[in-house]
Amino acid sequence: MADAAPSNDTARLEAFSDGVFAIAITLLVLEVRVPGGNGTLAHKLADAWPGYIGYAISFVTIGIMWANHHSVFRLIARTTHGLIVGNLLLLLTVAFLPFPTTVLAEHLRHGGADQRTAAVFYSGTFILIAIGFQVLWQVASRGNRLILPGREAAADQISRSYRWGVPSYVVSTLLALWKPPAGLALVGAMALFWTIPRGRAE
Amino acid sequence: MADAAPSNDTARLEAFSDGVFAIAITLLVLEVRVPGGNGTLAHKLADAWPGYIGYAISFVTIGIMWANHHSVFRLIARTTHGLIVGNLLLLLTVAFLPFPTTVLAEHLRHGGADQRTAAVFYSGTFILIAIGFQVLWQVASRGNRLILPGREAAADQISRSYRWGVPSYVVSTLLALWKPPAGLALVGAMALFWTIPRGRAE
Amino acid sequence: MADAAPSNDTARLEAFSDGVFAIAITLLVLEVRVPGGNGTLAHKLADAWPGYIGYAISFVTIGIMWANHHSVFRLIARTTHGLIVGNLLLLLTVAFLPFPTTVLAEHLRHGGADQRTAAVFYSGTFILIAIGFQVLWQVASRGNRLILPGREAAADQISRSYRWGVPSYVVSTLLALWKPPAGLALVGAMALFWTIPRGRAE
Amino acid sequence: MADAAPSNDTARLEAFSDGVFAIAITLLVLEVRVPGGNGTLAHKLADAWPGYIGYAISFVTIGIMWANHHSVFRLIARTTHGLIVGNLLLLLTVAFLPFPTTVLAEHLRHGGADQRTAAVFYSGTFILIAIGFQVLWQVASRGNRLILPGREAAADQISRSYRWGVPSYVVSTLLALWKPPAGLALVGAMALFWTIPRGRAE
């Protein structure tokens, strides 16, 4: 496996990650489906609304994660063996998102236990993603080991915001267990939280 | 999320967008299917003609949108937080197109209400895409904020042509409500309209 | 749409095309399927052999087309409006290949009329692809308009080999109509023919 | 097809390969599915565990192969006709992996003959992939023909480790025939073996 390499090596790691993000985001549409059964097409297309919502939320969320990944890598000077493994684990969690999105879209419409399960499963996936980001960032930033000289303050800013990741999604998952819409609303609110520009302290 | 950054940052935004366009365009073939039921394969393949037409129209349309996206970004000097969000919203609408394409292909053959619904849904998606392009372009061009110095006249040319986008697709959608083939013909005509080279005023 | 632009513009056109080739080649595996029904898994996996053959042939063929596309673009100095449109039409035909591959894989095992239809459909798709390559190459090479100075002899070499494309696939399609395996063998032989290095005359 | 070309040509070959790896790795999620039938969603999601394991193992494995491919190409000075063909054959085997992954995920839960068949099929695919890596590497390293000057010792290190590939997967496949979990454990252990950094001898 690739070992410590000069800074331009980051380029290929980023290109590969961009590919995975771009594919995961575009695959989401394959999970939007016209419900079967009788009735007019107009009625069925209207009935497919949870699919549209699931598509839009997951698309925007993966897009925001891509932009964050991008911000993080602008502070990283070089790749190491550990960074490649950490990045791979993050991508493992991100590329999984289309599955809980489908599960959510199929069960959002119905109330009851299955709706609750779907919301918990969806929100719980974000705990894993937050852990993935945290691990990648720890590998890169511990002792400013891989941080570009002069960008330490920017790195600190990112470290502070990442502290909110795992606890917030644990809360949203517990919320979803109690009241599914409330849990999903917190997941949406967190997506907005991640859009705040960070990592540009001078 | 990524903040204002030097010009070479546009490269990664473009590469990510290229990925999404390339995947969305290639996924279209997954929606071409041999109809089930009895009969010879020859008969079924002939019967699948709306799938071929849907594939070809959406492929060419996404290809033209890719080329336009490309033209637009050649005038843009740098990325900002707003540009990344605007671009993401545009990609959200573009990557959705395979779904209405399938719906259209499955219902084009049959006349009646469902054909009308499918044509309206397909044409209506282009209203959203046109809004997406408009929003991205407003973020970039308002006050020539992100426009490369010396390319202001080229940017004006693009601004003028984009004014036609939303109204044209509103008209094509209303047309499709009245006469589906007429609405689809206008969508096709607009695709040709977008192939006219723009943005090279000196 | 993008207009005549400096030489480095070819880079983005090539990157977009690479994306489409890479996705089309990787999507092929989605069409390999375990047949339903009763029986042991071992028996079913053995029974799926036409799927493996279809996957391998189409994978190698798209790979060879990618390499050819690559060779061709190394002789091209700049992009024009026409080149972008010609390239898009070529990609339209290449990205369609997964569909006839599936049709072939599903009907190769059974003899009779449907096997013949599938072979003719598969071979016929290559007529379209050959036309696509021919059109792209005509746009680029007519009067050496877009050819890099000094590479005219290499371009002539490619022009000569492309003359064989359309007629050969017309013959293979007629052969497939008469004897499906013979037609498919000629398609395979042509794939080998395209692997001969060209375009490096000094 | 592309002939011997200057070193920067490797860039496009790597970019194309990156695309195939990124797509193959992201497609894996499409094979994770909620089992049909009755029961609560919670029960079904728990029941889908072989799908999660299959996804995780194949994701990490393809990721490690990507990193290895990357290491190998950092030692290669230029592309040749043979290298392009060898690389294509390797990608042919890598891009096939989603299929045996699905087969494994669907049959891991059930014991008996089908579980054994699925494990043998999965492990056997790695024999083909190991042959693919071996062929690519032989083309590149035989007589240090395409190796960057000064990197011969690093290349030798890789040659030594690749000798273990084919025999190990033959053993894991035979093991799987006897005891499926033992065979799969060896496949997992080999994945860890490939993560050891190589190719950086000075």
Q: What is the dihedral of CA C21, C26, C31, C36, to 10 degrees?
A: 180
Quick check: A85 and D195 CB within 8 A?
yes
Quick check: A22 and B27 CB within 8 A?
no
| Of D23, D84, D103, Cβ closest to residue C67 | D84
Tell me how far apart the alpha carbons of residues B40 and B44 are, in angstroms, rounded to a whole number.
6
Q: Does C37 touch chain D (CB under 8 A)?
A: no
Residue C11, CB-side half-sphere exposure with 13 Å CA sphere: 11
Q: How far is A177 from chain D (nearest CA, A)?
A: 12
Give residue A173's pLDDT band: very low, low, confident or very high (50, 70, 90): very high
Which residues in chain A (163-202) have CB-CB distances under 8 A to chain B?
194-200
Q: Give the residue, B16 or C109, on which the prediction is more confident.
A: B16
Tell me how far apart the alpha carbons of residues B135 and B85 are, in angstroms, rounded to a whole number.
10
Average pLDDT over residues B85-112: 87
Contacting chains of A (3 CB pairs or more, <8 Å) are B, D
Quick check: A29 and B1 CB within 8 A?
no
Looking at residue C22, its amino acid is A
A38 neighbourhood in chain B, CB within 8 Å = none
A64 neighbourhood in chain B, CB within 8 Å = 1, 88
Quick check: C99 and B60 CB within 8 A?
no
Q: What is the pLDDT of residue C2?
A: 40
CA D28 to each of CA A91, C19, D122: distance values in angstroms, whole numbers, following the listed order: 12, 18, 14
Q: What percent helix, strand, coil does chain A show, rounded to 5?
A: 75, 0, 25
B84 neighbourhood in chain A, CB within 8 Å = 67
Measuring CA to CA, which residue among D88, D120, D69 is closest to residue C65?
Answer: D88
Average pLDDT over residues D169-196: 86
Tell me how far apart the alpha carbons of residues A163 and A176 are, in angstroms, rounded to a whole number.
21
Q: How far is D124 from chain A (nearest CA, A)?
A: 22
Q: What is the pLDDT of residue C198?
A: 67
Residues 6+ apart with CB under 8 A from A11: none
**How many other C-beta atoms are found inside a 10 Å radius of the C-beta of residue C134?**
17
CA A28 from chain centre, in angstroms, equals 13
Q: What is the pLDDT of residue C123?
A: 92
Which residues in chain C (13-32) have CB-CB distances under 8 A to chain B?
15-16, 19-20, 23-24, 27, 30
Residue D9, pLDDT > 70, answer no
Mean pLDDT per block of 10 residues along chain C (202 residues) reads: 48 86 88 81 85 86 87 83 88 92 83 86 92 89 78 79 85 90 86 73 48
Q: Give the residue, D202 or C190, on which the prediction is more confident.
A: C190
Quick check: B114 and A40 CB within 8 A?
yes
Residue A8, pLDDT > 70, answer no
Quick check: D81 and C42 CB within 8 A?
no
D85 neighbourhood in chain C, CB within 8 Å = 195
pLDDT tens-digit map of B40-83: 888 888 888 888 888 888 898 899 888 888 888 888 888 888 88
Please give the residue of chain B at the shortest CA–CA distance from A48. Answer: B99
| Mean predicted lDDT score pLDDT of chain B | 83
Quick check: D20 and C25 CB within 8 A?
yes
C96 neighbourhood in chain B, CB within 8 Å = 29, 32, 55
| Mean predicted lDDT score pLDDT of chain A | 83
Residue B113, pLDDT > 50, answer yes
Q: What is the pLDDT of residue B9?
A: 67
Q: Give the residue, D63 or D148, on which the prediction is more confident.
A: D63
Q: What is the pLDDT of residue B200?
A: 59
Please give the residue of chain C at the shortest CA–CA distance from B21. Answer: C16
Rg (CA), chain D: 19
Quick check: A41 and B117 CB within 8 A?
yes
Residue D84, pLDDT > 90, answer no
Measuring CA to CA, which residue among C55, C108, C75, C101 is closest to residue C7?
Answer: C75
> Which of C20, C21, C26 to mutate to probe the D interface, most D CBs <10 Å?
C26
Q: How many residue pairs from chains A and B have C-beta atoms closer than 8 A?
A: 95
pLDDT tens-digit map of A89-144: 999 999 999 899 888 888 877 778 888 898 999 999 999 999 999 998 888 888 77
3-state secondary structure of C31: helix
Could you report the predicted ipTM of this complex, rounded to two decimals? 0.82
